[in-house]
Amino acid sequence: MVFRLLKYGLSHRYPVTGDIPATPDLKPRYDVVIIGGGGHGLSCAYHLARYHGIRRVAVLEKGWLAGGNTSRNTTTIRSNYLTPQGIAFYKEGLELFAAMSDELDFNIMFSQRGQLTLAHTEATMRAFHTRAEAGTYMGTRIEVVDPKGVEALCPELNMDYGGALEILGGLWHADGATARHDAVAWGYAAQAARCGVEIHQRTEVDGIEIAAGRVTGVVTSRGAIACDHVLIACGGMNYHVAQMAGVELPIRTYPLQAMVTQPVKPWLNILISSVSLHTYLVQSSRGEVVIGGGSDPYQLYSTRSTLDMKEHLAEGSVHLFPFLQGVRVLRQWAGITDMTPDYSPIMGASPVTNLWLDCGWGTWGFKATGVAGKRLAECIATGRVPAILHPFALERFERFALLNEMGATAASH
Amino acid sequence: MKLLTCPMNGPRNIDEFQYLGPVRDDADPDTASDAAWARHVFRAANPPGRLLEWWRHVPTNFVFVAERDTVSNDVIRTFDPATAERP
Ligand SMILES: Cc1cc2nc3c(=O)[nH]c(=O)nc-3n(C[C@H](O)[C@H](O)[C@H](O)COP(=O)(O)OP(=O)(O)OC[C@H]3O[C@@H](n4cnc5c(N)ncnc54)[C@H](O)[C@@H]3O)c2cc1C
C-alpha cells in the first residue's frame, strides 16, 4: 500500500484507471443474475466469483451503482441486537467489516469507535440490561453504564435537559463502528469486476421468468436473459421486484430520512443514539455531523424529504448537544426502506426454485453488506441454506416464528 | 406541511393524523386456516401506486379511508367508509 502510493505520487503521468468497467453488452445467458447493484448485490457477486469460482454473474442495476440505500445510509455498524440468532449474524457482519479494507484492497475507512445508546426511561434501562446479557453471552463487547459512565464516554452530552428527559444510563457497545458506504460498494464492485463479474448499470429488470416452479431468466430494459439463479437484492423495491415472480413478501415500504450539518471541529468521537428522542448522531471524518432518526409515518415509494422530519432530527440533536443550535444543515436526503413486521431481514430460499431472497433490510442493512452477500453466495453455490440463515427464512411468517428486533432497531439502525 | 382532507373536519395538516395502514379484508375466525391467518396478520398491500388505507384524525378521533398514490404521494380521495361504497 505505502509503496504503491509513493510510486503513484511520484509518477509523471498519473495512471487513470477506472475501478468499475463500463457497462458491457448483455449476454444471452449467465449462471447467476443479481437484481440490484447496491452493496448487498455486489457483495454476493464478489463472494460468488472469488470464493466459489462462479464468474458468469451479471449484476443488473436500474440506476447507477449503489445509488439506492447503500449510499444513503448513516453507516452505523453494530451487533447489539436482542435475539441470539440476530446477534450471531450481525457479529459475523461486523467482523467482515473489520477485515474489509484488506480483503478488498480498498480503504473503506472502517472506524471502530464504539456506540453509546442512551436511556431516558426505566423501561429502556431494563431493555438495555437484557441486551447486554444477551450480547455478552454471544461474545460481543457490550455493557450497561450509569450516568457517570455516560458522562465519561461523552462529556459534551446535556445530561438532564432541565429534568425533562434526563439521561438515566446507556448501553455501551465497544464493537460499534462506522465506514464509508460508497467505498464498500466500490470495493466489492471493483474486485468482483476483476474476477469477471459483469456490472450492468442503467439496466432495469421488469419481469422474472419461471417455468415449472423454477426460475429461468429475467426480462430487462435491454432485453431478456436466461440464467440458472436469480438473487433479489433491490432495497426499497424488494416487494415490487419479488412480485414479478409471484412472491408476496411481508414488507411495507417507508422512507427514512437523514441529514448532515456543515463541517465542524472534531468533538464527537463515538456513535450516539437516543431511543426516546428518535435521534442518532455520528461525526464524519470530514467533520460533518450525520443525523438520523425514525422512519416516516406512512408508506411511500418516494425519496422526498419533509420539513417536519428534519425539525424532529434537529430537535433531538439540540436536546443532546445544545451547542449544535447555531450549526447549519448542509445536506438532507431520504431512502426508501423495505420494512418487515419483526425488523429482521428475509434471506434464503423463496417458493420459486433458485430464486433467492436478500430482502427486508429496511433501515438496518448496511452493517450486513458483507455477511449477507457472503452467505447468499453460499446458498447459490451449494444449493443449501447455511444454518446461520435459517432463522431469517421467509417461512417464519407462516410458522409465527418471528425474530423480533424492533426494540434493538428503532432509531439506531 | 402536507394537507389531508378529513371527511368530517376538512383539510388539516397531516401531522394531526395517525396512519393506520392499508385496508385489508378480515379473516373469518371460524373458517380461516393457519396459513390464511398468517397472511392476514403479516401481509399488507404495498404497491408502488394506488393504495386504500385507514387514517385517523387524532383530535376528533375520526377514522376514515384515503386513496393515495404511494409513488407521487398525491391523495386521490378520502371518504367515510360508513357512508361511501368501497370500490
Ligand atoms: C437514511 C438511511 C439511513 C440508514 N442507516 C443505516 C445505518 O446506519 N446502518 C445500517 O446498517 N443500515 C442503515 N440503513 C439501511 C441500509 O442503507 C440498507 O439496508 C442497505 O444499504 C441495503 O443495501 P442493498 O444493497 O440491499 O440495497 P440498495 O443499496 O438500496 O440497492 C438496491 C439497488 O437495487 C436497484 N433496483 C431496484 N429495483 C430494480 C430493478 N427492477 N432492476 C434493477 N435494479 C433495481 C436500486 O436502484 C438500488 O441501487 C439506512 C437506510 C437509509 C435510507
**Tens digit of pLDDT for each residue in A325-361?**
999 999 999 999 999 999 999 999 999 999 999 999 9
* Summary mean pLDDT of chain A: 95
Percent of chain B scoring above 70 in pLDDT: 97
Q: Which atom of ligand 1 is nearest to the CA of A365?
A: 19
One-letter amino acid identity for A232?
Answer: I
Residue A20: CB atoms within 10 A of its CB come to 16
- The mean per-residue pLDDT over the stretch A42-71 comes to 98
Structure confidence at residue B63 (pLDDT): 97
Tell me the angle at which helices A181-194 and A39-51 cross, rounded to the nearest 10 degrees: 30
- Give A104-131 pLDDT, tens digit per residue: 999 999 999 999 999 999 999 999 999 9
Distance A235 CA to ligand 1 centre (A): 4
Q: Which residues of A touch B19 (CB under 8 A)?
A: 297-299
Structure confidence at residue B12 as a pLDDT band (50, 70, 90): very high
All domains of chain A in start order, with CATH = 2-10+27-76+181-251+341-399 (3.50.50.60), 113-177+253-339 (3.30.9.10)
Structure confidence at residue A203 (pLDDT): 98
- The mean per-residue pLDDT over the stretch A250-274 comes to 97
Which one of B3, B16, B34, B46 makes the best mutation probe of the A interface by having the most chain A beta carbons within 10 Å? B46
- Asked if B42's CB is within 8 angstroms of A397's CB, the reply is yes
For residue A293 and ligand 1, the question of a CB distance below 6 A is answered with: no
Does the structure's ipTM exceed the value 0.85? yes
Nearest residue on chain B to A336, judged by CA atoms? B71
Structure confidence at residue A411 (pLDDT): 65
Structure confidence at residue A244 (pLDDT): 98
Q: Say how many CB pairs under 8 Å bridge A and B.
A: 51
Structure confidence at residue A162 as a pLDDT band (50, 70, 90): low
Structure confidence at residue A35 (pLDDT): 98
Question: What is the SS3 assignment for A136?
Answer: helix
- Give A30-44 pLDDT, tens digit per residue: 999 999 999 999 999
The residue whose CA has the least distance to atom 4 of ligand 1 is A73
Structure confidence at residue B84 as a pLDDT band (50, 70, 90): confident
A412, pLDDT greater than 80: no
For residue A258 and ligand 1, the question of a CB distance below 6 A is answered with: yes
Check the CA dihedral A103-A271-A402-A335 and report its sign: negative
- The mean per-residue pLDDT over the stretch A255-264 comes to 97
Structure confidence at residue B85 (pLDDT): 64
A359: closest CA of chain B, how far (Å) = 15
Q: Which atom of ligand 1 is nearest to the CA of A203?
A: 43
For residue A412 and ligand 1, the question of a CB distance below 6 A is answered with: no
Structure confidence at residue A6 (pLDDT): 86
Which grid coordinates belong to A148? 457517570
Return the residue matching grid coordinates 465497544: A174
- Asked if A298's CB is within 8 angstroms of B53's CB, the reply is yes
All domains of chain B in start order, with CATH = 1-25+50-87 (3.30.2270.10)
C-alpha distance from residue A91 to each of A78, A87, A176, A367, A413 (Å)? 8, 6, 10, 10, 15
- The mean per-residue pLDDT over the stretch B54-80 comes to 98
| Residue A131 phi, psi (nearest 5) | -65, -35
- The mean per-residue pLDDT over the stretch A23-28 comes to 97
Percent of chain A scoring above 90 in pLDDT: 91
By Cβ distance, the residue of A250, A253, A304 closest to B43 is A250
The model's pTM is: 0.95
Structure confidence at residue B1 (pLDDT): 82
A13, pLDDT greater than 90: no
- Give A175-214 pLDDT, tens digit per residue: 999 999 999 999 999 999 999 999 999 999 999 999 999 9
Structure confidence at residue A15 (pLDDT): 64
- Asked if B46's CB is within 8 angstroms of A299's CB, the reply is yes
Residue A119: DSSP 8-state:
E
Q: Which atom of ligand 1 is nearest to the CA of A241?
A: 41
The larger pLDDT score, comparing residue B7 to residue B84, is at B7
A17, pLDDT greater than 80: no
By Cβ distance, the residue of A240, A297, A398 closest to B35 is A398
Which one of A237, A257, A298, A342 makes the best mutation probe of the B interface by having the most chain B beta carbons within 10 Å? A298
